[in-house]
Amino acid sequence: MKSKRQKIIELLWKARDAGMLPAVASILLASVLGAVVGVSIIGVSGITRDVVVPELPTLRLAVQYGLGYAPLTIADELGYFERYGYQVEWTQFGSGGAIREALIAGELDAGAMGVPPFLIGWDKGAPWKIASGVCVMPLGLQTYDDGIQTLADFGEDDRIAYPSPGSIQHILLSMAAGKQLGDPTALDHLGVAMAHPDAAALLLSRGEVTAHFTSPPYLMQELSAEGVHQVVDGFDAFGGPFTFLVAVATEEFHDDNPAGYAAFTLALADAVAFINDQPEQASALLAESFELDVVTTAQYLTWPGVNYTTTLYGAMGFAPFMQEAGYIGRVPYTVSEIAWPNVVAAVGRDGSPIAEMQVRH
């Protein structure tokens, strides 16, 4: 069976033979579409040509688990990266910290993570900045224990699961602990690093974790389960809406591969627009990837507080708290210190409405 790319290239050659497309243009277009080396193409004249067309250059991207990464899944499913002339090598990690280390090691070009893991790397001198927002989403701490209604009710035998120390879930828990208990680190010794799928399964089976600080779709699944209730709401802990995930790109990728960087950010923006404009079609594409039915996926995509957007919210709000609590040693004073120019341009000057949204209130 012929691939989509082979069919497109054949059409290009037929158009050329019919005088509708210059030969050079047809070869260049075929190259951009990423045909494999040595594809045999039959023109209108019936002559078979062995066309040598280079492979698409590769973007090395990373994701984690959860519905927050839906735009990247959509971009992959709909071929948005190929549209801009690139193919993608995907790697899935269990935490933002793991993505951070892979980026620092030069194993990735870009990845998506929470703002806190990004800031920890930035504080240590990691050569990277934010390339785009990805989504605003509700996060929360759930438990099945009726005796736990506030953070003060957790005991020494309880265990709280989140992806890793320094994850956005951990930092939100610390913010809540600072408000409720007077000490941001009061519950750190109860934390257990665990990927969301495993932690959700243990919570719902009343396993060895007492509570789980998580994100969609695990948040919705836990809240829909009998006997499970929420102890901390992430928006309440932070004091308002915040960007759950940001796309982060290394300096080398941004500076040395501007076409690849542009392809990455444009494909991401196209996918965000698709989800917001066509949620039903997006749900159909995403359901299998997240092991959900289409109706449930559509409910989750439009859940209160869920907003797929490339605009940053609260980007400057985490750093002061993290410095005060001892998680980082320095803070950025302008968005340009932590974001690439396309993001800074979207935020605008200090005092603008979008700039004001970056601060924790």
* Per-residue pLDDT tens digits of the chain, which is 361 residues long: 444 444 444 544 454 455 544 433 433 444 444 434 444 444 444 555 554 445 679 889 888 778 999 999 999 999 999 999 999 998 888 777 788 888 888 898 998 989 999 999 999 999 999 999 999 999 999 999 999 999 999 999 999 999 999 999 999 999 999 999 999 999 999 999 999 999 999 999 998 999 999 999 999 999 999 999 999 999 999 999 999 999 999 999 999 999 999 999 999 999 999 999 999 999 999 998 888 999 999 999 999 999 999 999 888 899 999 999 999 999 999 999 999 999 999 888 776 667 666 666 5
Would you say residue 361 lies in a domain?
Answer: no
Based on the domain organization, do 255 and 131 belong to the same domain? yes
What pLDDT is attached to residue 103? 84
Q: In this structure, what CATH number is given to the domain that contains residue 277? A: 3.40.190.10
- Look up the pTM and report it: 0.80
**In the chain, where does DSSP find H-type helix?**
4-17, 23-33, 70-77, 80-83, 96-104, 115-123, 168-181, 196-204, 218-224, 234-238, 251-256, 258-277, 279-286, 294-301, 318-325, 341-347, 353-356
What pLDDT is attached to residue 213? 98
Answer positive or negative: Cα dihedral of 67, 73, 78, 84.
Answer: positive
Buried b or exposed e, range 141-180, using 16+ CB within 10 angstroms: bbbbbeebeebeebeeebbbbbbbbbbbbbbbbbbbbbeb
* Interatomic CA distance for residues 212 and 335, integer angstroms: 31
Based on the domain organization, do 214 and 86 belong to the same domain? no
Domain boundary among 221, 238, 255: 238
The answer to whether 48 and 13 are in contact (CB under 8 A) is: no
Domain boundary among 207, 238, 269: 238
Would you say residue 114 lies in a domain?
Answer: yes
Range of the domain at 184: 140-238
